[in-house]
A and B are shown apart, each in its own frame.
Chain A
Amino acid sequence: MAAISTRRLGKELKEIHSEGCPVGVTLVSADNFECWYFTIQVMGESEYEGEAFMLKFRFEPTYPIASPAVQFVVGNGQEAPVHPHVYSNGHICASILGNEWSPVLGVISICVTLQSMLASCKKKERPTDNERYVKHAPENPKKTRFEYHDDDV
């Protein structure tokens, strides 16, 4: 039997193709049901004007019961945004990707949440523990137990 992720992702992809992505979100590739790439840009005035960032989504067969592994792509000309919740290796400390994941969320709602996380940033800086984290970070950000300090950035 096909994984539950296949049917759900098929529906999400069909909707993206028929209705398009929200402004500032672009589908880069979705050639299989394991790994998708998007770029996000912050529209309007923000600290990130003119910048675009690539997001990598990895799905387990039990998606959307299991959250996807989401990170910014670093390398090949791509950089992670400088943001207090984004580590320089692309890992993101955002509660909806961790302990506040819900299976009613999806790829597009994650893109939009991350867009607004960047849009509301007032000061471009790395997390205070960036160096320590990046040195020992697991390859998959889902293996990190992030602590969520605040909800307003």
Chain B
Amino acid sequence: MKVTVKQWHPVAQWRWDMGDDHTPDEEGDVCGICRVPYEGCCPACKMPGDDCPLMWGQCTHVFHMHCVLKWTNTAASKGLCPMDRRPWSAVPCLLSSSVAFAEHRSFLVTADRKVAR
């Protein structure tokens, strides 16, 4: 039997690499500052993904990079993490690895095949 695939629709989904030990907290996987999911983008951006990455703190808390920078750039923040009020210090390698991961997104591909007689 000869099969000719005439058409197929790949469907892909991506997520940030939160690390193996990451468990969603009770609020779900949303940025605590804007309350938009991590895979969404901060209120200032239009497109989720590499242009609106996440930023990890040494304290292990995660926010949209743009959200947490808006906060830490204010005098009122005193440079503290919004969650635990410990000094905010970003983990640079984790930021870049999450961006790198976004380029190696995991694909869930389903093919919709039409079989010719």
Contacts and interface: CB of A to CB of B under 8 A. Distances in A.
A and B are partners in one complex rather than unrelated chains? yes
Given A7-B36, A64-B33, A67-B76, A103 B43 contact: no
Interface in B64-107: 67, 70-71, 74, 76, 80, 82-83, 85
A133 to B, nearest CB: 22
B33 A1 contact: no
Contact of A65 (B70, B80, B85): B70
A126 to B, nearest CB: 28
A127 to B, nearest CB: 23
B116 interface: no
B34 interface: yes
B33 A103 contact: yes
B108 interface: no
A141 to B, nearest CB: 15
A102 B36 contact: no
B43 A102 contact: no
Interface residues on B, range: 10 to 19
A116 interface: no
A42 to B, nearest CB: 25
A104 B76 CA distance: 14
Given A65-B70, A65-B74, A7 B32 contact: no
A65 B35 CA distance: 13
B82 A104 contact: yes
B44 interface: yes
Contacts of B76: 66-67, 99, 101
B61 to A, nearest CB: 9
B35 A102 contact: no
A8 interface: yes
A12 B32 CA distance: 12
Interface in A88-105: 99-104
A4 interface: yes
Interface string A129-144: 0000000000000000
Contacts of B80: 102
Interface string B11-39: 00000000000000000000011111000
